[in-house]
Each structure stands twice: as C-alpha cells, then as structure tokens.
Chain A
C-alpha cells in the first residue's frame, strides 16, 4: 500500500514600490498597492478560486478518501483579507471538510531559520496561532520557507513540538536512497521527515504544459499508472508544489484543472494507492532511516540550495543588514514597525536580487517587479534604511549606548575611590614622615622599612586604575 501525499503552497509577498533615496526619512510607506492588488486578484481569479472550488468538489465526491495539505503564509493571508476576502472564505470551506490539513511555517515566509532561533520560534508561533484562528486546527507538521531544511533546522523544529517536517528529496542528500519512504531527523529522531519526490512533483508543476516534453500530454490515467508502477516496497509518494501551479504557472488552457479533477479517481482505481495527509503519513508509517543534511537544502532551482536567496554579495549584505536590526526589534512594541518588519523579511525580496539568470531565469522573473537584480537590491536597501531610522527613533537607546553608559558610570566611581585612597596614602605618608623624623637618629632601619611599605601600598592603589 502506497500513500499519495499532496501538499500545496500558497504565498504572495507584499512587493515594494520604487522607493527612492529622496524618500528616506520622508515617506514611510513602502508598498506598491496597485501591483499587489492586481497581481493577487489575477491569481485569485486564475488559480485560488477555481482550484479551491474543484478541491471542495473532489473532497465531497470522494467522501473521506481524498485528502490534501495546504500551507498559507501569514503575508498571503493578510493580502486575502485586504484584497480578496472571498478567497479566504473558500479556504475556510475547505478546512471545514476535515480532509485538509494546514501546515505551519514562518509567518512572513522568511529565512529567519538560518539566522536566529528565538525569532524563528516566534514567527512560527505567530503563524500557528493564525492557522488556528482561521481554520480551527493546530498545525502538527511544519514546512519551512521554500522547504529549506538542515539537521539543525530540523532539530529546532522538533524542539518546538512538531512531529514532522517537509523538505526536498534532493539528489545530493539522498544519493541512492529513495524519497518514497519516511525518514527522521539526524539529531532529533523524534522528528519525521517527508521528502518531496521531485521528479513526479515537477512533472506536474513544471513539465505539465511543455509540449516539447516526450511525455506530453500528461493525463491523470498515465500519472496514476506511474504511481502504481513504482517499487512495491515503497510506502509514500510526496507531491509538493506551489498552489499557483493550477491555473497560473500552468494555464487553464493546458488542461491542468481537468488533470486535477480526474486524478483522485484514477489514483483510487488502483487498490495499492490511497491519499494521506502529512500528519497521517508521519504517524502511520515506520521510519526507515535518519536523513543527514549538514548543509541547508531547498526546493529551488537546479542546485536545490540557498543560492537563489543568499548566493551573491548583495543578497548577503541585505540579509545581514536586515537581521542586524533584530536586537532592536526585540525591544520594539510599535505595531506598524512590527508589521513592516514582517514584510521586510519575505524571502521574495532576496529572490529578486538573484544573479543566476542562466539556469532558472524564467522562474525568477515570475511576478518580479524589478528589471535587474541591482535595482531590486538598491530599492530594498533604501527601504531598509528608512526602516532603521524609524526603529532607532522608536527604540531610543541602543544596547551599545546603554552598555557604554553603564561602564562609564562604573569608571567614574572607581576614579573617585582611587582619589580618596590616594589622599589617604598621602596623609599617612606625611604623618609617618613627621614621626620618623623624630626617630631618625635612633632607629633608622625601621623607618626605611615602613617607608617601603607605604610606597608599595600606593603602587597597588595605582595599579587598580
């Protein structure tokens, strides 16, 4: 028996407007409302609404045998609230069926897991709360931004109490092993790891509409047969992809909705196949081995690593300068700043700065508001500069300043003490001298000894300085 685990990612960033140097310190609004609204409405019409409708129909049709998992970022949710509340309602309707599992992730679709554990924990908690509030279920399974995963990140996630995590079944971490089993984290074996079958997932997500592909056209029957033809011992097939695959990356005309419509029926025709959500997979299947991922992997580009976001010096600089604000952010309670802080962290901003044009240019150009990565970088840094100015004003004392104030206070105290002691030494010395002068004739030896002592004493005092 093989479980087919479908999971779709829903995310849209708040794109920045052209934020110029002249705006720094003058204008604190960073977003291109028109672009954001029009893009969101377009995707809602092409993808979210029709796809949700179809999923709802399939779930009721198949009465408990068809299940999917969804993950919706906090920023995407905010955009639905602002621009397309009907999309939110249709997701709620899906949640009400009980056949849709909602996963946890970072609220802002950020890369914070690579930087700071506390902030990571906070953002995940923020997202889990949001899922619970809107969909009435507490997420049990975690997926990190862009499926970024490493042993260390898995360990952090395990300590947050999640029982499973999703990531990419990248060739370079699996080697000869198959992604079609359940694995566990190498540091913390209690965390189950579900690995994406990238071959089969990408057949749908990237190659479905490609007429140059030798398997084109891909039908549900054919795809179900491929699943059935997999090795009998294999236990799970993880098909993870962007939700926008349906109707946006693959246009309606390509037949992607028909493919999805008949997929459950065709899959369930085979006795050896059934659907399951990630948490079902994690609790029902046996772990076959730990998976070792010392360096972070992701589901992006040919390399399946972090170079799409942190590959060049501009991205590194933007990333470092962003999280340099973290200590101050921790002491900030201003709601507007907290909101912008979330939007600033969106991984998309870093994605736009990517300079690897040659292999995956098409994907990078998708909904990219910038002409060049340089423009993206300059714009981002301008926004960040303004944000930093606002933050400095809101959190008046930097930690450095506080520390300096503290230390200089201590120094002053010491100086006073030393002065006092020196005076005392002086006094003692002069007194000794007068008494010694009286005794010089009789007891010269003793006098010189006491003198030495007092000198030693004053030297000690000085060294305290």
Chain B
C-alpha cells in the first residue's frame, strides 16, 4: 500500500505540535511492512530526517509544462485576504517580524515560477499563507499525476486543498487528519475562510481521523459531518532519547511551576497567571515560569506586573531544543491550562521528564491520561489548589511521577499507526 501524505512541516523545521505529530505518525507507519509513505511538504530544506519515507519538496517540482486541471478550486481559492489573527499556528518570532513590517500583498494573484519553472515556497506561516496553500494545491495536483499510490492522507486545513486536488487528479480515496479546528485556535470566533476550507476538506474526505473525542465531537457538531465518517486515533509521543545532563541547572531551592507553549488565547496563559497569583498569596517559596512567546505575551507581562508578582513570575521568551529540556528538568509541575486543545503532546513530554502535569479538561490528552491532575481551564481556584497540593504534599507528586511515567511510556506511535492503518483498510475496502 502506498500513501501520498501532505503535511506542512517536518523536523527540524517545526513551529507547532503539527510537525511533531506528522513525524511521529509517519515513523510509526514505517514499521508496517506493506506500507509506504510519500510525504509532501511545501519546502524541503534538505536536512530533514528521512527514515522509511521519501520526502518531496513542492518547490522542487516544475509546474510550467503541466496542465492544471483544477476547475472548482482555482476559482474558489483565487483571491482571499488574510488578517493576522487568522494565522493558524505562527512561529512567534516570524509573526512579530511580519506584524512589524506589515508588507501588504497586491490584489493580483498569479502563480509565480522561478527560472526552473518551480514555485518557491517559504514553508513558514505568514501573511501570504493562503496564497501558499493555494500554490501548494496546484503542485499537489502535479505530484499526484507523477507518482503512483493508493490513498491520500492530508494533515490539517493547510493541506486539505492539496489533498482534494490530488483526489481530483487521480480519483484515489482521501483521508484527512484533523489535528485542530479553527474553533480551537480562535476560541469560538471562527474565521469563515478557514472554516470553509476545513468544511470542504471534511466533506470531500472518505474518512476523517480526529486526534481526540473532543475534536471528533467538534467535527460532528460544528461542521455537520456524519458521525460514521469520523474516527478517533490518539496521538502518542516519541520515546525520550537518553540525554546528558541539562545545560542549565536550577539555581534556587524554590519550586518551579512551568507553562510551556505559545502564549496565545488557545493556550489559556491568563489562567496560569491568575492561578500563580493565588498560590503566591499562600506561599512565596515558589517560582512560576511562562516559557514561550506569542501575541498575548505583552498583556501577560502587564497583568503579572499589575498583580505584583513579577518577583516570582518569569518570562523566558521562545525556548529552543536544549533549553526546553533544561526547563522541564528544573520544573516541579507542568501546567497546560488550554482553553481548547485538540490533543496536546507537550504534557506527555513533561511526564517523560518525570514532571507531574496539570492539564485542563478542555484538552484531548485529558481523555487518555489517568495520572494527571485535571481542572477546568477557567477554574483558577481549583488550579491554584492543585498547584499548591502538588508542591506541598510530596506523596502526591511522587505518585504522579511514578505512574505517569509508566502511562506515558505505553503511548507509542506504533500503536497509533496501527489504528491509522485500520482506517486505511476500511477506506480501501469501501472504495474497490
């Protein structure tokens, strides 16, 4: 069985959980003997890991001499304006640079090709994102004609148009994988353009994979998709590589409570700040860290200053590989108060590093974890209670670490891949 897979990111060029999940899943699939994955990303840098998959950069495909057979789509996707809030996940630094420079794109839309007839892609999320999605779909059509495969698999709304284009070109079945919907990202005020792309992707798909029941419900209820068509396959986590000592050691004997992620509305950073304030009123011997950056960071700094907790509340800015590891190593509790998190791999990574986790009920990962503290994202009192409890009653934290580690070690991508394979099989069975 050959699968043509459309993604948007691949390690090491990752700006969000999407890339991590794509990588884990394709790796898991590579263990299945009669299955081959052809993974397409908008821009291949050349240094991606390539194990058991072949990687094609869309910008390496000449499109000049191809007939683009894309009647419905080119027209519908032709011209769309994107405001900054619409960006699905943004590499935070990139986002601010774009915001600062405010480069406006002209109203003309034509496919620009470079000398070799290749469409250049930046591969990062930016202001001309929709243009890129559209270009990507055009190239997908070409690729689909060049390679042979049995099935198309598209990850998240960015690649749905590409998936549909490939399906149109070849008539092969389409599976779409929903890692997040715009309801999660926007907190309810959905961008109609993104919603439209998502809905059409879901409708065109032969089967939909959702990363949690939470997301599955959203797909059924908000997008009006037939429940039969939607299957939940949980994400997993890459086993932790044995690493040397972290680069940074904790410099204080105080407890450290960590929020690690993009500082955006979806992640609920404000609830973390409020909970920190409540805990600090009872106990000054603890430090809170908000690691990451995002469009709400400045508001959070101001709020923390207003609450007068900035001597115990720290912002680290965007952290990279080694620093993330160090940060987890010095944490005594990991908090993910997401307002709406389709899955959430990061708490699993914390558990692997022997850090107890506090997650919101509004996250997909809460459905499969037993050894994690769960509260509602808005319930800052409960959150403060839980934080205080974990910090003060060592028995609690020891239990979470011990059993949490076991629990997280049992979540393997190989298992998720088998579930995905079952989906493939049912789709192909129905198709022939």
Could you list which residues of chain A lie within 8 angstroms of chain B, going by C-beta atoms? 20-27, 312-314, 316-318, 320-321, 324, 372, 374, 377-378, 381-382, 384-386, 388-389
B301 part of interface (Cβ distance < 8 Å): yes
CB-based contact A317/B326 at 8 Å: no
* C-alpha gap A378/B315 in the complex (Å): 7
Tell me which residues across on chain B come within 8 A of A385, comparing CB atoms: 287, 311-312, 314
Q: Give the docked Cα–Cα distance between A317 and B305 (Å).
A: 6
B302 lies within 8 A of chain A by Cβ: yes
List 9 tightest A-B contacts by C-beta distance, closest first. A25-B251, A26-B251, A22-B248, A317-B305, A25-B252, A314-B305, A313-B305, A21-B314, A21-B316
Contact A378 B251 (CB under 8 A): no
**One of A25, A378, A382, A388 near B250 (C-beta < 8 A):** A25
Specify which chain B residues have a CB less than 8 angstroms from the CB of A372 in the assembled complex. Answer: 298
- Interface residue? B101 (CB, 8 A): no
Give me 26 A-to-B residue pairs in the complex whose CB atoms sit less than 8 angstroms apart, sorted by A's number.
Answer: A20-B316, A21-B291, A21-B315, A22-B248, A24-B251, A24-B252, A24-B314, A25-B252, A26-B249, A312-B305, A313-B305, A313-B306, A314-B305, A314-B310, A317-B310, A321-B308, A321-B311, A372-B298, A374-B297, A378-B301, A378-B314, A378-B317, A381-B314, A385-B311, A386-B251, A389-B252
Instruction: State A258–B305 Cα separation when bound (angstroms).
Output: 48
Q: Which of B63-93 contact A (CB under 8 A)?
A: none
Residue B323 CB within 8 A of the other chain: yes
Q: Is the CB of B252 within 8 A of A314?
A: no
Give the complex CA separation of A324 and B252 in angstroms. 20
In the complex, chain B residues whose CB is within 8 Å of the CB of A389? 251-252
Q: Which residue of the partner chain, among A21, A318, A377, A384, contacts B289 with CB atoms under 8 Å?
A: A21
Known contacts A384-B311, A385-B311, A314 near B301 by CB under 8 Å: yes
For the complex, give the distance between the alpha carbons of A29 and B94 in Å: 31
Query: Chain A residues with Cβ under 8 A from B251's Cβ?
Result: 22-27, 386, 389
Choice from A21, A377, A388 contacting B305 with Cβ under 8 Å: A377
Residues of chain A within 8 A (CB-CB) of B298 are 372, 374
Query: In the bound complex, do residue A388 and residue B311 qualify as a contact, i.e. CB atoms below 8 Å apart?
Result: yes
Which residues of chain B in 310-348 are interfacial with respect to chain A, using CB atoms and an 8 Å cutoff?
A: 310-312, 314-317, 323, 326
Minimum distance in angstroms from B358 CB to a CB of chain A: 20
Nearest-CB residue, chain A, relative to B315: A378
**What is the interface of chain A mostly: helix, strand, loop, or mixed?**
helix
Q: 10 extra interchain contacts, Cβ-Cβ under 8 A, other than A26-B249, A377-B305, A384-B311?
A: A24-B251, A312-B305, A313-B302, A316-B305, A317-B308, A318-B305, A377-B310, A385-B311, A388-B311, A389-B252
Residues of A within 8 A of B317 (CB): 378
B226-264 interface code vs A (CB 8 A; 1 in, 0 out) = 000000000000000000000011111000000000000
CB distance from A370 to the nearest CB of B (A): 12
**Chain A residues, CB < 8 A from B301:** 314, 374, 377-378
Smallest distance from the beta carbon of A19 to chain B beta carbons, Å? Answer: 11
Q: Which residues of B contact A384 (CB under 8 A)?
A: 311
Tell me the bound Cα distance from A318 to B306 in angstroms: 11
A21 contacts across to B, CB distance below 8 A = 289, 291, 314-316
A372–B100 alpha-carbon span in the complex (Å): 13
Q: Which chain B residues (249-282) contact chain A, with CB distance < 8 Å?
A: 249-252
Determine which residue in A23, A25, A318 has the highest number of CB atoms from chain B within 10 A of its CB, and name it. Answer: A25
Residue-wise, chain B 157-171 has the 8 Å CB interface mask toward A (1 for contact) of 000000000000000
B329 to chain A, nearest CB (A): 11
By CB atoms of chain B within 10 A, which of A27, A320, A381 has the most?
Answer: A381
Q: Count chain A CB atoms within 10 A of each CB in B291, B302, B305 and give the residue with the most.
A: B305
In the assembly, what is the distance between CA of A385 and CA of B310, in Å? 9
Q: Determine the residue in chain A with the shortest Cβ distance to B248.
A: A22
Q: A71 to B419, alpha carbons, bound, how many Å? A: 76
Among B250, B310, B312, B315, point to the contact of A318 (Cβ < 8 A): B310
A347 nearest CB across to chain B (Å): 18
- For A382, what are the chain B residues with a Cβ–Cβ distance below 8 Å? 314
Is there an interface contact between B311 and A381, defined as CB atoms closer than 8 Å?
yes
Quick one: closest A residue to B253, CB to CB? A25
A181 CA to B314 CA, complexed, in Å: 50
Nearest-Cβ distance from residue A324 to partner chain B, whole angstroms: 8
Nearest chain A residue, comparing its CB with the CB of B247: A22
Neighbouring B residues of A318 by C-beta, 8 Å: 305, 310
Query: Which residues from B are CB-within-8-Å of A321?
Result: 308, 310-311
Residues of chain A within 8 A (CB-CB) of B314 are 21, 24, 378, 381-382, 385
**Alpha-carbon separation in the docked complex, A166 to B107 (Å):** 60
CA distance A231 to B305 in the complex (A): 50
Task: Give complex CA distance A255, B309 in Å.
Answer: 50
